[in-house]
Structure 1
Amino acid sequence: MNSSKSDLPSRLMLSLEPWRNAAHWRIAFSGGLDSTVLLHLLADLARHHSLPALSAIHIHHGLQAAADAWPQHCQSACDALGVPLQVVRVAVQPGASLERAAREARYAAFTSLTEAGDVLLTGQHRDDQAETLLFRLMRGAGVRGLSAMPAQRPLGQGTLLRPLLDVTRAELETYALAHQLSWIEDPSNEDRQFSRNYLRHQVLPRLTERWPQAQASMARSAAHLREAQGLLDELAQIDLAQAATPSEFHWLGLPSLALAPLATLSAARQRNALSHWLEPLTRLPDTDHWSGWTSLCDAANDASPVWRLADGQLHRSAGRIWWLSGDWLRVPAVSAEWRDPSTALRLPNNGRVMFSGQTPVGPLQIRYRQGGEMMHLAERGHRDLKRLLNERAVPAFVRGRLPLLFGGEKLLAVANLPGLDGHGQGGWKLHWQPTDEDQGLR
């Protein structure tokens, strides 16, 4: 935009109008130019308008010695404006990309602090948007990645807003100088070994020298790609609605889809639908890794293929695909005697079991399938457990962790499977709650 600094407050106010009824506005305050201007703008607007409660959050990564002085600088800036500040220290996990690790630590903290009805405001601007588009283009990103940073998205229990995405860094600098603001210059921002800094200092200046409107054009392209991604998301929802049929094993509490409706789609629509479904569950696979999906679909009917992804596994079993993570990927430990059947028994890495109805007489023990187990059924005599599980089409990944109730060496019940889960005359049933975790979000 070519607007002057004088209308920056009114432009910000206009973009934040839909969020005037939020419970709380929190500013992600690094102390740098962008967040310093955003903090000053919002504090000034709060003096003239009725706005939600305003506060700031400073994330201290502790990655360089200079950063130790930044919390005090941020505190002084907030005190001068009458804005409460919360300083949060995070541990950045070592890895190949320090930039990415720091960002993940920062947003993990923001996510945990953003409560219901809260809005977290960050200071990214149009120059940042152009950098993001170029950076992702160099990494071979698809439509979702090239749509760059959205102006808003869910975060924690609230919403993340980027109200300055249509504002240039030059406009922010003009505002800061006009209001005599002081801000932190992060020394790492000059380090050209970081990809974004290389783009900022080496690439974008050359582009804008040749094409003065380059950043505005890139922001416009990102907006077009966001619109295209919106259409792809709508198509994914249509395709997933066909596959989101209920499973008779709904009590597993696992995200799952029927495979047959997906298999009728073109390969591109399969990837689109599955990406949409997987996005809240795991970091999405890159292009080369999608061969794992093809292998899973093409495996023999009697196979139980697994596609391993960054944050869990996709299993194919019983005509469906299932998302497994957390405790589902840990081997359940053999539990001890169930000494008090009147209370639930917690199973290491495998949830808990409990009885309904009359509690059977002990001694009792929960075990897991080893192979060769037999079970006596009133009308069918002794039957092999493997055959009983086959008859009920129990998914393969469940079979080794289904709690089996033994009285001595006699198999008395298999949790949660109708007809096998209790004793009709005894008036009791064995119930299994597979996990206490939320399998729906990563």
Structure 2
Amino acid sequence: MIQDIIKKYKYKLFLIAYSGGMDSTVLLYQLLKIKQINPKISIRAIHINHNIHSNSKKWQDHCYNTCKKYNIPLIIEKISVNVIQNIEEQLRIKRYNLIYKHLFNNEILLTGHHLNDQCETLFLSLKRGSGPTGLSAMSNETIFGKTKIVRPFLTKTKKELKKWANLNNLIWIEDFTNFNTNYDRNFIRHNVLPILEKKWPFFLKNCFRTTKICKEETKLKNILLQEKIQKFLHFNESLNIKSFEDLKEEVCKALIRYWISLKNIKSPSYKTIQRIYNEIICSQKNINLKIIIQKNEIRCYKKSLYFIETKKNIKNMIVFWHDTNHKLILPNNLGYIIKNNTEGMNIPRPQNSELINIRFQCDGKILILGKHKQKYIKKIWQEYNIPPWLRNQIPLLFYNNQLVSALGVFVVNQNIKKENQNEWNISWINSIQLNYYDNFIFN
């Protein structure tokens, strides 16, 4: 299997996730054997010390000595997680973040995951009530940033790897935390799979077949959804749901899930997708409704779904612009404002005694330039098609306590223009996407 991987990829740089356990030890030694035949390949290893066992330092030293013996560069990283719940998931996330930091762009990460691991992952997915995507478990190859994770042993059982390790007199460490059945994976490993294997010796192989079928079905579904979703995507990646009421519920939910998958975040739960369907697609009372997904929000505006990064509430913040010769950086990654000679919004220049400040909240009625009637600012936002989640993110220019302009949107009508008051141009430079259909535009 490893030989096939080396033949497949033109570049031959490999980083081994080396815990010192039996699986990664077999992986390391098999790669060393191949390197004897093909010396052009480059091998590095990385060991993550989780600091959750009294022997963690001994295991680290074992990995160090083994790599030193065979002249393999070893990276050692130490992590700790101060959580009680979901510690396995937290450690996994931190572990892969550290590994990614050390990966070269043209280097493949190799892990020692085997068929038993695959079946354990399948059972964990069943426990969570996952669909076909979750039941696909691990892939032989997974995109990992600019490179890949490859799992060459995924069709091999732990018994097969152990047999090879014993035949080659390998020495590895035993992580006794792997016997702690308080962890879900260990419970499945020691209390579930052995019973099933004893009853049905072919059970592990059939689990693998199930994951493969689920993977193929998921791949086919995504190919079909990729084509279908183009009819509903606006150019700014919002999802047009005007005609969703004419689609079957299963199709709607599949499109929503696929649309969210394009954002490269962890797939939301079935319950979350059902909420989006029930509370947004099927409901007429979805005004300003938001559904939280990790650090993001699903919002609906004018029959379109938006995937929004959750922003800090800054509606009570005031930012003073003392030196207008320098740009003013705005909070929440909202860009900056700058004085221009010819471009930007043309507005009255402040008096020398007036303090220029930026705010993000304003109430009451105002009269904007070009209009003949005062209106509440909420009504003005609606007329300009400003979505609710942007209304407290638009910089409002004040002179002292007087609103002058919502930058990029409107200028307040100054009923009595001050004598000899000059004008200047101000631009708000931001990365807010324009929306051709709703026309909320900022300059």
Q: TM-score range by the shorter chain?
A: 0.7 to 0.9
1:310 equivalenced with 2:294 (yes/no): yes
Aligned match of 1:213 in 202, 206, 209?
202
Aligned match of 2:7 in 14, 17, 24?
17
Query: After superposition, where does 1:24-423 map in structure 2 within 5 Å?
Result: 24-247=13-236, 256-279=238-261, 280-293=263-276, 294-300=278-284, 303-326=287-310, 328-331=311-314, 334-355=317-338, 357-358=340-341, 361-362=349-350, 363-378=355-370, 380=372, 384-417=376-409, 420=411
Matched letter for residue 126 of structure 1: L
In the TM superposition, residue 194 of structure 1 has moved relative to its aligned partner by 2.2
Cα-to-partner distance string for 1:69-88 (whole Å, 9 max, x where unaligned):
11111111111221100011
In the TM superposition, residue 171 of structure 1 has moved relative to its aligned partner by 2.0
- In 2, Cα distance between the equivalents of 1:398 and 1:39? 52
Aligned match of 1:430 in 421, 427, 430?
427
TM-score, scaled to structure 1: 0.85
Higher helix share: 1
- In 2, Cα distance between the equivalents of 1:422 and 1:83? 72
TM-score, scaled to structure 2: 0.85
- In 1, Cα distance between the equivalents of 2:229 and 2:323? 45
- Decide whether aligned partners of structure 1 residues 337 and 295 sit closer, same or farther in structure 2, where only a CA change above 3 A counts: same
- Structure 1 match to 2:419: none
- Decide whether aligned partners of structure 1 residues 314 and 421 sit closer, same or farther in structure 2, where only a CA change above 3 A counts: farther
In the TM superposition, residue 62 of structure 1 has moved relative to its aligned partner by 0.6
SS in 2 for 1:54: strand
- In 1, Cα distance between the equivalents of 2:269 and 2:104? 32
The more displaced of 124-133 and 371-380 is 371-380
On the 8 A contact 1:282/1:309 being kept in 2, the answer is no
SS in 2 for 1:88: strand
- In 2, Cα distance between the equivalents of 1:416 and 1:46? 61
The more displaced of 233-242 and 379-388 is 379-388
Matched letter for residue 204 of structure 2: Q
- Decide whether aligned partners of structure 1 residues 227 and 338 sit closer, same or farther in structure 2, where only a CA change above 3 A counts: same
- Tell me, which stretches of 5 or more residues in structure 1 are unaligned? 1-10, 248-254, 436-442
Cα-to-partner distance string for 1:98-148 (whole Å, 9 max, x where unaligned):
222222221222233334223111110112112221232233221011111
The more displaced of 54-63 and 237-246 is 237-246
- In 1, Cα distance between the equivalents of 2:64 and 2:253? 47
- In 2, Cα distance between the equivalents of 1:124 and 1:207? 20
- Structure 1 match to 2:437: none
The more displaced of 303-312 and 142-151 is 303-312
On the 8 A contact 1:338/1:365 being kept in 2, the answer is yes
Matched-pair identity in % = 25
In the TM superposition, residue 288 of structure 1 has moved relative to its aligned partner by 3.2
Largest Rg, 1 or 2: 2
Matched letter for residue 408 of structure 2: N
Matched letter for residue 314 of structure 1: I
Matched letter for residue 122 of structure 2: L
Tell me the number of residue pairs that the alignment of Structure 1 and Structure 2 aligns: 414
What is the alpha-carbon root mean square deviation over aligned residues?
2.7
On the 8 A contact 1:28/1:121 being kept in 2, the answer is yes
